[in-house]
Each structure stands twice: as C-alpha cells, then as structure tokens.
Amino acid sequence: METAYSLAEQIEERLLLRNQIFEHYFSVEARRLAEACREMSERFLHGGRLLAFGRGPYATDAQHVSVEFVHPVIVGKRALPALDLSLLMQPWLDAIVRADDIIMGFGPPEGDCAVWSALQSAQKHGAMTFALPGPSGSYTLDAAPQDPFMHQEMVEILCHTLWETVHVFFEHRELGQDIGQTEFLYPFLGKQKQETVGIVDDVAASIQTKVHDDALLRTRLAKEQSDEIAATALDMQKCLQSGGKLILFGNGGSATDANDWAIDCVMPPAGYHPIPAISLAMEPAIITAMANDVGIEVIFLRQMLAQAQANDVIVAISTSGGSRNIVMAMEEARKRNLMTVALLGNDGGEIYRRGLADHPIIVRSDYIPRIQEVQASAYHVLRDTLEVLLHGHA
C-alpha cells in the first residue's frame, strides 16, 4: 500500500524530470522554432490559416492551439485564423487547404500514419507543415519523449511558443512601430522597426528564457505541492473505488485540458487501465444552448446537476480561480458534499479564498500560457499516480 509520503516523493521526482527533458529540447530547437515562427507570420500576412488536427487525446492539442490563436490571452492582440479539423481531418483538409496555410498534425510519440498522410497531402499544395511528431515536414518534432504525457506537455510548450512568437514577427513586419502589449514578452525589440531576419537570434534566446521560467514554476509546484497532489490522488482513489467518476471542466484552453484529462482516463496509453471520467467542456451543443437560453454562468452547473452522483469527483481547471461559471459549479458541488479538486493559477482566486476545493493545486503565476503548461504536468502526474494506486504500476 502506497503512503502519501512516498507518493509525494514520486510525484516530485516526476515533475522535476520534466524540466530536464524540456529545457534540453528547447535549448537545441530554439532557433529553428524562431525561424518557423517568422515563416508563419509571413503566411498569416498573406491570408494563410492555421489548420490543426489529431486523433484521440491528440485532438485536444489541436483544440488548444486553435483557441490560443483565435482568442489570444494578451489584451490587444488580434485574432489569427485557426481551425481544429480533427473530426474529419483528411476530408476537411482536402476541401479547404490553400498554399499559404499552416498545417499542424499531432500524434503520440511514435507518430500517427493517418496524420502523416494528411500532412503530406497538404504539403503538396504548398502549405507549411508541422509534424508533431513526424518524419517529414517544414518543422518536425524529432526527439519526442517516449512518455506520452511528457510528449504532450512538450508539444503544448512548443505551441504556446509559436503563438507568442508569431505575434512578435507578425506585428513587427506589418507595423514597424510600437509593439504594444507584446513588449513585455520581448523587451529587446523596443519600438524601432527592424528586419525580422535580424531578430531571430534574440527571439530564440527569449524562447529559452520562457522555457526556463516554466521550469522554475514546475520546480516550485514540485517542492511545495507534491504532498497536496498525493493527497488528491489518494482521495480520488477512494471515490473511484466506491463507484464514482471524475467530472472535469474549464474555459478556453482549460476546456481543452479538461477534455485531454478525460480522454487520458477513458482512452489511456498502452499499459494503463481506463478510469471513468467525463468532461463538461466536450459538449458544444449543450454549452451553446444553455449560454444562449440562460447564460454562460450556468454552462457547467446545469450539466453537473444532470450528471453528478454520489462518490463523483468534481474537478475544475482555471487559470484565474474566479470565472463565474466555474465558481457556481463548485458551489453546487459543495452543497452536494462531493469531493472537489481545482487546478488553479495566480493566488488561487475566489475558489481558493472561499475554500471551494478540498484539494487546491495552485501554479503561482499570472501568465496564462505558463500556468497551463505546468497544470498539464500536474494532471498528467495525477493520472500516473492513480494508475499506481488502482493497479500497482504506471
């Protein structure tokens, strides 16, 4: 029988191992990524779109990159065209691909032949392709970690890096003037126009700095919250063994994380066992019906009223801890005496201050991409730990 103490040690070790792998990869790849971002910016300026797809849990990577480009988290940054084509990736791609488009295909560490085939067909049209991973493309992820969860986390960092950096090249080339809200991301750019080729080295160095910042946050989580993560896993184990399920939800990028976590439970990697879980963020017809007829505040509450049963675990993912629709669902879970877990950013927000989560796991940052990257590590480590508790190995 595992103890909370020994589990905490294992959790800390798993979190810190990620830092070594991620920092090494991006130290090697930073310049290549910066150059890829420069080409992406030129394609967006010529009317190109980002088209993304994947299968199974990797479809959620396509969801995530799409929402990041269309709905940027930095105030004042423009929406860039992006679509998730995972539902019908090859037919949809064949129908709409254009030469200026940017195509991203996501898959497991060993790759996905169907994704590769779609990327190859897009490349024939002149599109820029990202094989994440894959053997060929404009950009290829060549050294994916063999652990599927670490691989997915590294891809999330990569996609956030692309999104942040494209805005720098895009606006710098188009405007040649004050870069506004992007200046805090890349202060070396200042307010003077430069040729984009001349800033690639500086952008590459900034990419490495961002990954190091990410590692510092993950280290803090490992040192300060491994005990809390272990206690969360132990309480989840009890609920699951009593017939409960995980009910997950979040907004935007956190919605894609809720979807990914749920799929990791019900369609786990080879060698893992399924765990009952659902994501309330995976129901667009229900969400839009309630948002239209009642209000966005109830989109998770009303679903939880219909779905939650005794022994279920209510899991909120929020970078702010204060979104009204998240808070209302957590309030209802409290009324029902259900176990509550929250992955939070900043200082934990209203959810933490009001004690709405039995187990708050907080990434103490105010920058959404870094919060989400470390939250992904936290929920993947939780999934690993549940496998150990329920089945004796991960």
For the chain, residues with pLDDT lower than 50 are 1, 174-194
Task: Measure the CA–CA gap between 391 and 250, rounded to whole angstroms.
Answer: 28
Task: Measure the CA–CA gap between 290 and 287, rounded to whole angstroms.
Answer: 5
* DSSP states of 221-278: HHHHHHHHHHHHHHHHHHHHHTT--EEEEESTHHHHHHHHHHHHHHSPPTT-----EE
What pLDDT shows up at residue 201? 86
CATH (one of 3.40.47.40, 3.40.50.10490, 3.30.70.980, 3.30.1330.60) for 220-391 = 3.40.50.10490
Task: Measure the CA–CA gap between 26 and 373, rounded to whole angstroms.
Answer: 14
pLDDT digits (tens, 9 = 90+) for 264-322: 999 999 999 999 999 999 999 999 999 999 999 999 999 999 999 999 999 999 999 99
Residue 380 · residue 153 · CB < 8 Å:
yes
DSSP bridge pairs for 348: none
What pLDDT shows up at residue 74? 66
Token pair 């409290």 in the structure block, residue: 334
Gap between the terminal Cα atoms of the chain: 15
> Among candidates 341, 326, 317, 347, which has minimal Cα distance to 254?
317
Encoding tokens for residue 251?
């907004």
- CATH 3.40.50.10490 residue ranges of the chain are 4-212, 220-391
- In this prediction the pTM is 0.92
Show the beta-strand stretches assigned E in the chain.
50-54, 82-84, 102-106, 128-132, 139-140, 246-250, 277-279, 313-318, 339-345, 359-363
CATH topology assigned to domain 4-212? Rossmann fold (3.40.50)
What pLDDT shows up at residue 394? 65
What pLDDT shows up at residue 186? 40
What pLDDT shows up at residue 70? 94
Token pair 């890096």 in the structure block, residue: 161
Q: What is the identity of the amino acid at 202?
A: D
